[in-house]
Amino acid sequence: MGNLLKVLTREIENYPSFFLDFENAQATEGEREVWNQVNAVLQDSESILTGLQAYKGAGQEIRDAIQNPNDMTLQERAWNSVCPLVIKLKKFYSFSLRLEEALRSLLTSLTCPPLTPTQHLEREQALAKQFAEILHFTLRFDELKMRIPAIQNDFSYYRRTISRNRINNMNLDIENEVNNEMANRMSLFYAEATPMLKTLSTATTNFVSENKTLPLENTTDCLSTMASVCKVMLETPEYSSRFNSEDTLLFCMRVMVGVIILYDHVHPNGAFNKSSKIDMKGCIKVLKDQPADTVEGLLNALKFTTKHLNDESTPKNIRTMLQFKGLNLSPFLLNGSVRPITEQDTV
């Protein structure tokens, strides 16, 4: 076990850094119950991403229906195109609820006393790997979602049509699948630029507030330690060379960014403060040392989905490091949130 996870003596002693085998960690008998529970969720993650990637939307059918309100053939065509998409959107949303429960189970296991976060990582590496896989999936999902404005357009059309038909006392079978309450919750979910990340951030914050007897540091130290794990693996050839696949490098980058964002939402002072246990300068440098097209979305996530970046306590050099060229991102900020990327935003 000690060969898989070893303490590295780094230049910043206050930031413990570890090597964790994300590729080969296997569940021990003590981890098995939670691992099985989380694995039942994670085994569906690739099909969710495949479904999202294949999402084409019903934009043309909706435009035709709106421009020709008296043409019932076009109205029916648009409705029949949107309904299967709404069922698919419900599947994505339902998966977010399952992912939330999986995250809570992992946080419970990885933060419970008397073990420290370091000890948990050493003894429960398979659970730490699953935690990393949840974050990896989350950022992949949100990166895809931000590039599909059709999702919100389709769902808005669905809700408008449902409301209009309700007024006309029409009974629609799809309401058995997506009733008004479900539609309201889905609407809030898809209104977020990064809905999966928002789900995890809220779940982590709620986990801390609901477990009042658990010290906050148990959770934040778990997150900061994971950030250090990934940073060291990325910046140290001795360790990154152990990976069997180059995909593991991107995996580590996504996980590092994910835990930073969660830490920033949970810790009262955030991740960018000088007192933070995360070496933000080092983490950002690791990202910016990679090809720009590989890390653009991750830098966007740090810049626009964190909570404390614009606090006065954030060092100026950290803010400067997150200024970069690429997508024209300034228009995405709408009332403090981010809107989806469209083709017109690329430069």
From residue 108, alpha-carbon distances to 42, 85, 95, 115 in Å are: 18, 35, 20, 12
- Phi and psi dihedrals of 172, rounded to 5? -110, 125
Q: What is the pLDDT of residue 168?
A: 53
Contacts of 30-39 with CB under 8 Å at 24 or more apart are: 30/123, 30/124, 31/109, 31/124, 31/126, 31/127, 34/105, 34/106, 34/109, 34/127, 35/126, 35/127, 35/130, 37/102, 37/105, 38/102, 38/105, 38/106, 38/127, 38/130, 38/134, 39/130
Q: What is the pLDDT of residue 167?
A: 43
Listed as ranges, residues in the chain with pLDDT below 50 are: 1-16, 167, 169-171, 325-347
Contacts of 232-237 with CB under 8 Å at 24 or more apart are: 232/8, 232/10, 232/17, 232/18, 232/19, 233/19, 233/20, 234/286, 235/282, 235/286, 235/289, 236/8
Q: What is the pLDDT of residue 213?
A: 92
Q: Please name which of 215, 219, 218, 230 lies closest in space to residue 286, comparing C-alpha atoms.
A: 230
The three-class DSSP label of residue 187 is helix
Q: What is the pLDDT of residue 177?
A: 85
The three-class DSSP label of residue 333 is strand
Q: What is the pLDDT of residue 236?
A: 86
pTM of the model: 0.85
Q: What tens digit of pLDDT does each residue of 247-270 get?
A: 999 999 999 999 999 999 999 999
Name the one residue in this structure whose structure tokens are 């969710």.
48
From residue 144, alpha-carbon distances to 46, 131, 150, 305 in Å are: 13, 20, 12, 15
Q: Please name which of 162, 141, 138, 178 lies closest in space to residue 258, comparing C-alpha atoms.
A: 138
Q: What is the pLDDT of residue 335?
A: 32
